[in-house]
């Protein structure tokens, strides 16, 4: 799968796609659950990946059996993950090389994240990649977060790019639905290897995959 010409822009999801922030989230989630008498499991993780603030709040209410306390639980989780995000946040395999190759080729890049601005800025700084992105859009800066298309539409608008001539990179079904709804060609790179990403036009094992490079116009397609 490849576009007819190099894309006008490439937009990266952040958590679990550009950066391995999921380890920080997991540490915070485990602590939150322990505080409230629960045990955080991989099934919880799978359900929460890609969720917006409001959706995650509703899920936490059910998971911890604390009806009506979702927003308070999310506030506590946010405080915990902000502390965790000051260390041990690294780019995902192939991420920096891919971003640099796109920039060298003159292809604009952006980050489109469901996470709030404060967290997004912090982890980009912690991982040492903030300077590479002139455009970033956070989940608390649009009317409707993923799976709505707003974040991707705003990222493309800020880059001056046509969404239908651009590529979105995502690790979750929620994010892929957002990119697809915005009209982008979607490349899925699952954070959890067995996670299905139905809306994606292409599934790759990592950002270093040759198929990803071909899809974003960096190497000739063999297909």
- Point out the residues that are catalytic: 13, 15
Edge-to-edge, what's the strand order for the sheet holding 109-112?
136-137, 109-112, 10-12, 167-170, 185-188, 202-203
Question: Are the beta carbons of 215 and 2 closer than 8 angstroms?
Answer: yes
Spatial neighbors of 57 by CB under 8 A, at least 6 apart, are 70, 71, 73, 74
Going from the C-alpha of 33 to that of each of 63, 65, 149, the distances in angstroms are: 9, 11, 31
Contact 8, 165 (CB under 8 A): yes
């Amino acid at each position: 799968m490849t576009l007819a010409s190099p894309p006008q822009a490439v937009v990266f999801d952040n958590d679990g796609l550009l950066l391995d922030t999921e380890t920080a989230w997991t540490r915070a989630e485990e602590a939150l659950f322990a505080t409230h008498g629960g045990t955080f499991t991989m099934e919880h993780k799978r359900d929460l990946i890609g969720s917006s603030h409001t959706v995650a709040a509703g899920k936490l209410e059910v998971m911890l059996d604390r009806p009506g306390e979702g927003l308070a639980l999310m506030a506590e989780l946010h405080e915990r993950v902000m502390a965790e995000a000051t260390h041990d946040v690294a780019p995902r395999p192939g991420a920096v090389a891919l971003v640099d190759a796109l920039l060298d080729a003159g292809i604009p890049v952006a980050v489109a994240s469901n996470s709030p601005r404060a967290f997004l800025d912090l982890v980009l700084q912690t991982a040492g990649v903030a300077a590479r992105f002139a455009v970033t859009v956070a989940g608390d800066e649009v009317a409707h977060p993923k799976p709505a298309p707003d974040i991707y539409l705003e990222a493309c608008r800020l880059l001056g790019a046509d969404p239908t001539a651009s590529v979105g990179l995502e690790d979750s079904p929620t994010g892929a639905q957002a990119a697809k709804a915005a009209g982008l060609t979607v490349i899925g790179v699952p954070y959890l290897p067995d996670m299905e990403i139905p809306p994606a036009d292409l599934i790759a094992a990592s950002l270093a995959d040759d198929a990803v490079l071909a899809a974003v116009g960096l190497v000739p397609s063999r297909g």
